[in-house]
Amino acid sequence: MSHSTPSCAVAAAKLPVREKLGYSLGDAAANFVFMTMILFQANFYTDVMGIAAGTAAVILLGARLWDAFFDPVMGVLADRTRTRWGRFRPWILATAVPWGVVMYLAYAAPSGWSDRSIVVYATVTNVLLMTLYSANNMPYSALGGVMTSDPDERTSLNSYRFVAVNLAQLIVAGFTLPLVAKFAAAYGEGQTARAVGWQITMGMWAAMCVLFFLITFATTRERVQPVVEHKSSPVQDFKDLMTNAPWAVMFLLTLVHFTILSLRGGAFYNYYHYYADKAALYDWLAVAGLTAPAQAEGAAPASGVLSFLGWIVYADRSNLDGSNVADVAQSVINVVEKVVFIAMIVLSPMLSKAVGKKGIAVAGFALMTVVSALFYLVEPHQVGWMAALTVVGAVAYGPTIPLLWAMFADVADYSEWRTGRRATGFVFATIGFALKAGLSLGAFVLLLLLQAYGYKANEGQSAGSLQGIRLCASLYPAVLFAVCAGLLAVYRINRKLALTIAAELAQRRRNAPA
């Protein structure tokens, strides 16, 4: 490590709003892939590409496990990167354009290919996309830990970050399916038209990603350096983590947490498209003015912003097969959820100062255990209850979103405080490993469970498969949320210890030779 140590005043200074906003766009970009992956990728493979559920499960598991194992490699590379732009920012710049290209290709379903060729194509593009995700997002996450050393300022930075993340997730969750349906309608019906809709929509999202990454690179700076410049081996970094109890808790928490997100997120697509009653969804949307009579074939497209975005259901209540009613209903509920998330994320710094990151996180996951379990009691026609429980869950879960990532930076500080060696990249890389492993397990388990319950893509579902969809969206995640709450309860870095660590590391930096 060769950078000179900045003064504590610089490292702990207030970050300008411009820099916080610029930083936040980097994870907003990543979430165009992340949220699509959680909500739609499993069903894209089965319903659009026509890949069998079991085969799709293996593709997702293999690519994401590769990604998980690649994260620690990226951590080692990033920690040892030396450029005039710092350790982490160059990776964001270098991966921006390749990310956009591969993201587009990953959702461009080939036409006329054999089943085997499509499986190979899906595997290769997914592995490439996950590799670029690690090469970009692992250094990006570590960057937040070296922009400032102040714990409260880190919480503020992550609040900006996750407001932007949830705005991106709002766009993905709220407008992807309606836009896919809208663009597909211009090309006819069936899987081929649906594939074109996906291709156009994901091309739009990919272009936005490239722009956002370039802004993040241009607007951020790295300030926090180790107290003492020294060289350490990856083996030593790993040994340090093995004796770091808070890291172990956060590693397990992240593994379980992202298993939930992948399992539950994918299950809700099926929940609204197969379990929820379409007539009830139509009636609920009609109250909001989002329905209209079916258009005559060849009629000019309706005008208006909502119609342009695909948020109007043009169909008769008595004939909803093939309509976009489930797409629009799920999207509306997703948007409401994201709006509540954003409001709670804005409040999270204040809540963190009053209660501490740990207290907020424990309460949030405990409440989500209850909310998720209550989803099991909702009947197919009770759309109002689906929306209401989603809002309550967002209130409970929303404040935890930025706080968990600020806690990861606290773990890096804790390691340096104990050992005298700082390995921010390696800490975030190993957390990234748990994150990607959780995503892979969640998608893999979901697809295998759906297959075991008898799920058939694009067909009417049996009573057994509907029960499986219901369980995957409710009781199974509830058990995992309870595990997360228990792990957080034994996490030892509370607000008092975090402030003590920050103060002692700041003193060491002041005393270190220039």
Q: Bridge-partner residues for 313, per DSSP?
A: 291
Q: How confident is the model at residue 241 (pLDDT cuts 50, 70, 90)?
A: confident
pLDDT at 222 over 90: no
Helices (H) and strands (E) in the chain, counts: 20, 2
Q: Quote the CA–CA distance of 441 and 259 in Å, as a whole number.
A: 6
Per-residue model confidence as pLDDT tens digits over 130-146 = 899 989 988 898 888 78
Q: Quote the CA–CA distance of 39 and 34 in Å, as a whole number.
A: 9
Map tokens 């003492």 to a residue: 228
Q: If residue 274 lies in a helix (H) or strand (E), which one and from where to where? A: none
Share of the chain above pLDDT 90, in %: 45
Closest CA to 362 of 308, 325, 295, 407: 407
Which pLDDT score, from 0 to 100, does residue 226 have? 58
Share of the chain above pLDDT 70, in %: 91
Q: Where is mean pLDDT largest: 57-66, 247-256, 318-327, 486-495?
A: 247-256
Q: Where are the beta strands (DSSP E) in 304-348?
A: 313-314
Which pLDDT score, from 0 to 100, does residue 122 have? 95
Q: Is 314 helix (H, G, I), strand (E, B) or coil?
A: strand
Which pLDDT score, from 0 to 100, does residue 301 have? 61
With the C-alpha atoms ordered 261, 263, 265, 268, is the resulting torsion angle positive or negative? Answer: negative
What Å distances lie between residue 305 and 96, 179, 312, CA to CA? 30, 12, 10
- DSSP secondary structure letter of residue 272: I
Amino acid at residue number 510: R
Which pLDDT score, from 0 to 100, does residue 61 have? 85
* Token pair belonging to 131: 């590799």
Map tokens 């993040």 to a residue: 216
Closest CA to 321 of 294, 340, 285: 294
Per-residue model confidence as pLDDT tens digits over 144-161 = 878 887 777 877 887 888
Which pLDDT score, from 0 to 100, does residue 51 have? 92
Decide: 151 and 506 in contact? Cβ < 8 Å: no
Q: How confident is the model at residue 423 (pLDDT cuts 50, 70, 90)?
A: low
pLDDT at 255 over 90: yes
Q: Quote the CA–CA distance of 292 and 187 in Å, as a whole number.
A: 21
Provide CB contacts within 8 A for 147, sequence distance 6+: 15, 19, 23, 157, 220, 221, 222, 223, 224
Decide: 158 and 17 in contact? Cβ < 8 Å: no
- DSSP secondary structure letter of residue 316: B
Provide CB contacts within 8 A for 459, sequence distance 6+: none
Provide CB contacts within 8 A for 97, sequence distance 6+: 210
Q: Where are the beta strands (DSSP E) in 191-303?
A: 291-292
* Token pair belonging to 401: 């979103």
* Token pair belonging to 67: 């990604």
pLDDT at 514 over 60: no
* Token pair belonging to 177: 């399916």
Which pLDDT score, from 0 to 100, does residue 297 have? 66
* Token pair belonging to 415: 């390691």
Structural domains of the chain sorted by starting position, each given as residue range(s) with its CATH number in brackets: 14-220+233-509 (1.20.1250.20)
* The CA-based dihedral angle spanning residues 420, 422, 428, 431, taken in that order and rounded to the nearest 10 degrees: -20
Q: How confident is the model at residue 437 (pLDDT cuts 50, 70, 90)?
A: confident
Which pLDDT score, from 0 to 100, does residue 111 have? 84
* Token pair belonging to 417: 């405080």
Amino acid at residue number 398: G
Q: Where are the beta strands (DSSP E) in 241-356?
A: 291-292, 313-314
Stretch among 70-79, 315-324, 373-382 having the lowest mean pLDDT:
70-79
Q: Bridge-partner residues for 291, per DSSP?
A: 313
pLDDT at 266 over 50: yes
Stretch among 83-87, 257-261, 369-373, 477-481 having the lowest mean pLDDT:
83-87
Bigger pLDDT: 423 vs 391: 391
Map tokens 């007539």 to a residue: 279
